[in-house]
Amino acid sequence: MVTDVASAVLAQEIKITPTTPPGSNLIVNLVNYMAWLVSLAGIAALIYAGGKFGWERWHGGSVESPKIIAAAMFGGILATSAGPIMNAVVTGAN
């Protein structure tokens, strides 16, 4: 009898709808600013790596700029994917 009641209670679907707390628009604004700064840093890293690549090719030094480009690309992919990844985790695979 107890197990039937417990399984009936546990079998019920619980709907959770996240709502934003008061004042959260300031935090969202801050996160948007940080996303913009991350994008700016990625663009600056790619520009720097492009100039460094030209310098290294011109002077015949060791070529380190492809590592910078790969890191900037990986960081950009990770930064732009953070929002959709967290949205999928929070909302679940419905």
pLDDT in tens, 33-70: 988 898 898 889 889 988 888 888 888 777 788 888 88
Sort residue 80 into left (φ over 0), alpha (ψ -120 to 50) or beta. Answer: alpha
Tell which residue, 29, 28, 31, has the closest CA to residue 39. 31
Report DSSP letters for 39-57, one per residue.
HHHHHHHHHHHHHHHHHHH
Is the pTM here over 0.85, yes or no?
Answer: no
Q: How far apart are CA 59 and CA 53, in angstroms?
A: 10
d(CA 76, CA 41): 9
pLDDT for residue 77 is more than 80: yes
Per-residue pLDDT band at 7 (split at 50, 70, 90)? low
The b-or-e profile of 54-67 (16+ CB within 10 A means b, else e) is: eeeeeeeeeeebee
